[in-house]
Structure 1
């Protein structure tokens, strides 16, 4: 493909990526309002996010495997249709349960978009040139991340209310569908012996779901040390063990080929992706709660505060992508980026309800710069070491484990946040009661997300202090995970980026034979 043809096809792919990122960021600042309106709790807040992440996590490797077997264009378009259906369900949800169900359907589509965009680009562009296009992806990621909270905040404060947030991505999804139909032309290699490992995929999502349910509900619905906890933990570990057995011994074409992990770069990059997912998703998803519940901001104002982090991500991703394409050297960007992420999270761990907003913004910008130099380049490192036949599976494995880490991080840190806020509010309410200050008759549950405007001033200040302190602690908990990601990256062996689409001639590409190439008849290009 010529550079112009690549850019034309890339426009549709970037629209699809924008839709995927927008689905999570546009509701970020709406969540406190959504959960309050639907009478939800902190656990409900967590699961509105986790539902999408978990569905995306579970289906990402399946989408990646399908990309190795079927038309990539048709798969991307199918993911857009599924995303649209989920958005409509969520928009008209009458309760938290239906909303979470709609978010699950959204997650199925987002999982496809997240995995397939990387796979399609890998099918069009050599690893050496891919750094430039990965920079474009990073820029779109940043744009969606910064515009999502802003758009979401404006929509929530408008007559449309929070339900309008789920309509925002639909025009972009429709536009992406038709642009891809006209501009994306890729080789389609059809096989008669297609086998999808549905059993393995089901076991993976089942095992992960059991553990996340335990983390989210323990301490509120049941005790951490109880029969229910034991059943969920043991059950989750047994199911995950069964998934590993199926993937390694039973499945003819596993959704996660374990042989890929024999490659050092793939194994370490995957481990780093898990840790980045825990730190990034787990900590940043609660920033909107910090700005709205600890600092008393409106959804629109909270969206404006995200500019600091995403501005750093935007600049960093574009610059690192350009330089990597010019030099073929990528490891230094991963190491430097993660050093900044560790430092940024450590500094954010010092914030509370009284920290100057300028200082908070500087810390967020530091994290953004680090993430911009890290996320897309981890995928690039794995793709550079992978044969073309395994490109879909390998690309989706990295996205899968990053999403898995995000699901774990949101659940674990959400549970920590809920527990700490409940404890501090309970202790503070008791002290206020001794002073003769009590809540009105419609007493608010300490585990629920409050409408601060409806609370008396002493209790409003109590909640603001509790959320400010607790969210600062969440960032401190994220620091060790970011540090482990840095350690993994340090031990990755740097391989210069290939300048061909086919497998490298010689060693160093996981799953490839020396000198293997890819040829596609002209009549198989669609």
Structure 2
């Protein structure tokens, strides 16, 4: 139950962040998206310092795996950079290959260091446990897709449907309802049923359905249809949060409870980081060609080419409302109502091109979720502590009075 609440809080913060970010961007500017984290961080530190109970422990600073942490950072940073620059560099370019090779070397070094560390960041020996390994793999893959939804759904609203950044953030909020509700519900139900592993499978299947519908969004799709899709994605995602956390915590000895919790979060965040980079690269590399195809289908006069913005690989800049308004004003001033009408046709083609590219992005996310769906079937169920209490309560209820 507590795991369900923790999962709900994590999902809540993940969804409220883009909502607040959209409002701040519209009203204060994008730099304030970063500035606002300073007072929030300070308040969080003060709350933790004032309210978190002190727990005596034999652990010390010397137990922290500094070499492993350094090797992990040195391996992940070039990997993220390599995945990010594939939007304007070929996979076989020296820059990408060099970064990937450097990342591979450091991650191998990280693995070697973890084998020798007494308190490793990632205890690889735990992967011998089927429950642990399946839970980590599923968390990684669902994290990949989760951040894909959170990052790219606002582009549907802003770029395809023409909604402002603030409203697009607010329209993402319903995903929170599905996520929180499913997370709390599954946390309550899983201790009361047998074969609880299929709750995770059902949740991933729900995510797949939501991503499939998101891939079908066009310029004619209504905002309510997108809301329906992200609620389904949120509900499916929320179902996985408490399930795999509780399964791992019950599969490992008690001294590994902290490790189990941290590893679930670690692999989900790594999956999300890689997913954001990979899907962002797909978007950037395919958007220009998709837009050019849509504009070519308009058969506009050659002089209308100036209405197509440059740098279309950056959708945030292309579909910025202030930029669109300025370009429409300039087109009207230069050519009158006819030029404004042509501009509207070009803008519709731009939105259709973005919709076609997002179609591919969400299908890639769906392909990753298929892997997660298959992996979830191999989860080895363990007896949950809550299950024992529930069954004992039922036995007492039907036992004859002494």
**Same-fold status (TM-score > 0.5):** yes
1:262 CA drift (Å): 1.4
Aligned with residue 262 of structure 1, among 105, 108, 128: 128
The 3-state SS of whatever aligns with 2:53 is: coil
Aligned with residue 368 of structure 1, among 216, 229, 234: 234
The 3-state SS of whatever aligns with 1:495 is: coil
Q: Following the alignment from structure 1 to structure 2, what is the Cα–Cα distance between the partners of residues 344 and 442?
A: 32
The 3-state SS of whatever aligns with 1:411 is: helix
Q: Which structure has the bigger radius of gyration?
A: 2
Q: Following the alignment from structure 1 to structure 2, what is the Cα–Cα distance between the partners of residues 276 and 206?
A: 25
Q: Following the alignment from structure 1 to structure 2, what is the Cα–Cα distance between the partners of residues 431 and 190?
A: 70
1:181 CA drift (Å): 3.8
For structure 2, the 5+ residue unaligned runs are 328-342, 388-402
Distance 1:227 1:383, change over 3 A: same
CA contact (8 A) 1:142 1:311 kept: no
CA contact (8 A) 2:175 2:234 kept: yes
The 3-state SS of whatever aligns with 2:10 is: helix
1:170 CA drift (Å): 5.4
1:471 CA drift (Å): 1.1
1:283 CA drift (Å): 3.5
Q: Following the alignment from structure 1 to structure 2, what is the Cα–Cα distance between the partners of residues 202 and 142?
A: 29
Matched residue, 1:481: 368
CA contact (8 A) 1:346 1:475 kept: yes
2:160 equivalent to 1:289: no
2:220 equivalent to 1:354: yes
Q: Following the alignment from structure 2 to structure 1, what is the Cα–Cα distance between the partners of residues 46 and 254?
A: 27
TM-score scaled to structure 2, two decimals? Answer: 0.81
TM-score scaled to structure 1, two decimals? Answer: 0.63
The 3-state SS of whatever aligns with 1:285 is: helix
Matched residue, 2:98: 231
2:20 equivalent to 1:151: yes
Residues 465-524 of structure 1: CA deviation (Å, up to 9, x unaligned): 111121122111111211211222211111121269xxxxxxxxxxxxxxxxxxxxxxxx
CA contact (8 A) 2:207 2:237 kept: yes
For structure 1, the 5+ residue unaligned runs are 1-131, 501-526
Aligned residues: 366
Distance 1:400 1:367, change over 3 A: same
Q: Following the alignment from structure 1 to structure 2, what is the Cα–Cα distance between the partners of residues 337 and 251?
A: 36
Matched residue, 1:342: 208
Distance 1:184 1:214, change over 3 A: closer
2:139 equivalent to 1:139: no
1:232 CA drift (Å): 2.5
Matched residue, 1:244: 111
Q: Following the alignment from structure 1 to structure 2, what is the Cα–Cα distance between the partners of residues 351 and 235?
A: 39
CA contact (8 A) 1:214 1:233 kept: yes
Aligned with residue 359 of structure 2, among 464, 469, 472: 472
Q: More helix per residue: 1 or 2?
A: 2
Q: Following the alignment from structure 1 to structure 2, what is the Cα–Cα distance between the partners of residues 372 and 296?
A: 29
The 3-state SS of whatever aligns with 2:312 is: coil
Distance 1:193 1:478, change over 3 A: closer
Distance 1:179 1:347, change over 3 A: same
Q: Following the alignment from structure 1 to structure 2, what is the Cα–Cα distance between the partners of residues 182 and 327?
A: 40
CA contact (8 A) 1:134 1:376 kept: yes
Matched residue, 1:198: 66
Q: Following the alignment from structure 1 to structure 2, what is the Cα–Cα distance between the partners of residues 431 and 333?
A: 46
1:156 CA drift (Å): 2.9
Q: Following the alignment from structure 2 to structure 1, what is the Cα–Cα distance between the partners of residues 92 and 138?
A: 31
